[in-house]
Chains A and B, each alone.
Chain A
Amino acid sequence: MLKWYKEAGNNSDVIISSRVRLARNLKAYPFSAKLSENQAKEMVTKVKDAGLHLQEKEEKKYYSCNVDMLSDTEKTAMMERHIISPLLIAKEQSTGLILSEDEKISIMINEEDHIRIQSIVGGMNMTEAFYLANTADDITSELFDYAFHEKYGYLTSCPTNLGTGLRASYMMFLPALTVAGKVIKLAEELGQYGIALRGTYGEASKSLGSLYQISNQKTLGSTEKEIMDSLNRIVEQVMKQERRQREYILTNGYDEFEDKVYRSYGVLKYAKQLSSGDAMTLLAQLKLGADLALLKFKDNYNIHELMMEIQPANLQCQLDKNIGSVQRDKYRADYIRKKLPDIQ
């Protein structure tokens, strides 16, 4: 079964993925801040069983595990692939995870809320992402009595998630706006519309690989559809701006840019050591070059997949042993050299 990041998506030159998160809590248990360790354990056992229920209803394979029993490397690798959140890793209590085989749906147990249903699909496709999360929510809700308030909607541990409990977000690739130094200003503008922009790997001001997360901030008072519609309207605008900026690069400095892209390919293909920062910058350059058809790979190739695979913990997992950062940089260079397809 194809993982989400291997699928070709809509507008994938600018939008890497669409993600939906639903926050839910069980009525019968205290929220995270007041949950005892015993209750946390009970919760993980109970909710993990929902995996079997989902598997039956959706006819798709689900795995489940106790996250706190995994190694640090395994946990971090899952975080780098956006399956679990940093907060879940940091929790000292019992935590759990239900994950669909294609990694499109993950359900975190005992994160900030008892249940956090998350779905990711490739490209711009919030409709599918919401459909998946919503269906999983319907199925899980058959098993548990959710905390729901007539006026406030789904009750969450933090009142900022109240109501729909919905966070919709796009992972966007904005290299041209980044180079033009327009991201911080954009983030300010989006803030006025209740939309947050931040770096996927790092801060908005210096995100690695020009990857950004754009998401709604308000969760109460609008329906799920209204929230996603207004996010979509804004993302369309950002997409337009990014594409306009890319055209600008092509018309004003084609040669220079072409040279840069090919140099990036050269370094990635022949370097003996690559830090993850350098690799991300070069890969972003390469992705932009490929998106603009400046350079064509012999095989269809998804650069973003490589961006995830070369994150420190993911590399470590492939190696199956702990290595120092120098060795890791060597291994990273090796890995990229092997994976990078030839150009036409």
Chain B
Amino acid sequence: MLCDKCKKNEAKIYYTEIINGEKKEQHLCEDCAMEYSSFQMGTPFMNQEITLGNLLSTILGNYYKENSHSGEHAEKELHCKGCGMTYSEFLKEGRFGCVKCYDTFKKVLEKSIKSIQGSDTHTGKKPKGFETKTEKLVKELPELDKLAIKLQDAIEKEEFEEAVKIRDRIRELKKEEMNNA
């Protein structure tokens, strides 16, 4: 079925809304649904995210329907070990129950987050003192490996003076190791 609005893309979202007591149904493609929701949310004093959340769960619901044909239908029985939220409960509410939900429903979430947000990777602020997995790993490496990474980094950034310093430090350490051994 084609999208009711652009009549070009395939309709993936079944969008229902109630305006002045009348029910209006539309089949929209993801692009049109995003646009549509953005100016359709002007209800007085309503939190705009509420509607967007419902829209998200609609999109997710559609993914689920699609995927269930290809045998991936464990999703519905999936539930979060952190808070007990089930997938169908999430579809209904459009809200997660806890931090762990993001990992529990990761597989179905990934695609749809991209279609709602246009991206699936955070590039903004981090809490003070937050270490990424790589940073943590690097921290635990032996000194020599750490320096090797730093050397590589300095060369990539064309900071050659710094690179020379790091190289000399590596030589020193290697010499010490030899002497100790």
B-contacting residues of A (Cβ < 8 Å)? 25, 27, 29-34, 79, 85-87, 112, 134, 138, 141-142, 146-155, 157-164, 166, 184, 187-188, 190-192, 194-199, 201-205, 215, 217-224, 227
A-contacting residues of B (Cβ < 8 Å)? 34-36, 38-39, 41-50, 52-53, 56, 82-85, 93-99, 101-102, 109, 113, 116-128, 130, 132-133
A-B contact pairs, 26 of them (CB 8 A): A29-B98, A31-B101, A33-B96, A34-B83, A34-B97, A86-B45, A87-B47, A146-B127, A151-B120, A153-B124, A153-B125, A157-B95, A158-B94, A160-B56, A162-B117, A164-B125, A187-B42, A191-B36, A191-B39, A195-B38, A196-B38, A198-B39, A201-B44, A203-B42, A217-B52, A223-B123
Are the C-beta atoms of A218 and B117 separated by less than 8 Å? yes
Are the C-beta atoms of A160 and B127 separated by less than 8 Å? no
Are the C-beta atoms of A142 and B124 separated by less than 8 Å? no
Give the chain B neighbours of A188 by CB distance below 8 A.
35, 39
8 extra A-B contacts, CB within 8 A, seeds A27-B99, A152-B102: A86-B46, A112-B47, A155-B99, A188-B39, A217-B52, A218-B119, A221-B118, A222-B123
Report how far A227 CA is from B119 CA in the complex, Å.
13
Least Cβ–Cβ distance between B97 and chain A, in angstroms: 4
Are the C-beta atoms of A221 and B120 separated by less than 8 Å? yes
Least Cβ–Cβ distance between A118 and chain B, in angstroms: 13
Least Cβ–Cβ distance between A31 and chain B, in angstroms: 6
Report how far A318 CA is from B178 CA in the complex, Å.
82
Report how far A230 CA is from B168 CA in the complex, Å.
46
- Give the residue of B35, B44, B97, B123 whose beta carbon is less than 8 angstroms from that of A31: B97
- Give the residue of A138, A190, A199 whose beta carbon is less than 8 angstroms from that of B38: A190
Are the C-beta atoms of A220 and B119 separated by less than 8 Å? yes
Top 6 A-B pairs, shortest CB-CB distance? A221-B119, A153-B122, A191-B38, A34-B97, A198-B42, A187-B39
Report how far A86 CA is from B43 CA in the complex, Å.
12
Given the interface contacts A155-B102, A217-B52, does A85 sit within 8 Å of B47 by beta carbon? yes
Q: B89 — nearest CB in chain A belongs to which residue?
A: A33
Given the interface contacts A203-B43, A220-B117, does A164 sit within 8 Å of B122 by beta carbon? yes
Give the chain A neighbours of B34 by CB distance below 8 A.
191, 194
Are the C-beta atoms of A161 and B49 separated by less than 8 Å? yes
Are the C-beta atoms of B123 and A191 separated by less than 8 Å? no
Report how far A151 CA is from B119 CA in the complex, Å.
11
Give the chain B neighbours of A161 by CB distance below 8 A.
49
Are the C-beta atoms of A148 and B127 separated by less than 8 Å? yes
- Give the residue of A141, A217, A222 whose beta carbon is less than 8 angstroms from that of B124: A222
Give the chain A neighbours of B93 by CB distance below 8 A.
33
Least Cβ–Cβ distance between B34 and chain A, in angstroms: 8
Are the C-beta atoms of B84 and A34 separated by less than 8 Å? yes
Q: A203 — nearest CB in chain B belongs to which residue?
A: B42
Give the chain A neighbours of B102 by CB distance below 8 A.
149, 152, 155
Are the C-beta atoms of B47 and A159 separated by less than 8 Å? no
Least Cβ–Cβ distance between B101 and chain A, in angstroms: 8
Least Cβ–Cβ distance between A111 and chain B, in angstroms: 9
Give the chain B neighbours of A184 by CB distance below 8 A.
39
Report how far A223 CA is from B122 CA in the complex, Å.
8
Give the chain B neighbours of A25 by CB distance below 8 A.
99
Q: A23 — nearest CB in chain B belongs to which residue?
A: B49
Given the interface contacts A148-B126, A158-B96, does A198 sit within 8 Å of B48 by beta carbon? yes
Are the C-beta atoms of A149 and B122 separated by less than 8 Å? yes
Give the chain B neighbours of A155 by CB distance below 8 A.
96, 99, 102
Report how far A138 CA is from B123 CA in the complex, Å.
18
Question: Which among B96, B102, B122, B123 has the highest number of chain A CB atoms within 10 Å?
Answer: B122
- Give the residue of A31, A192, A227 whose beta carbon is less than 8 angstroms from that of B96: A31
Give the chain A neighbours of B44 by CB distance below 8 A.
199, 201-203
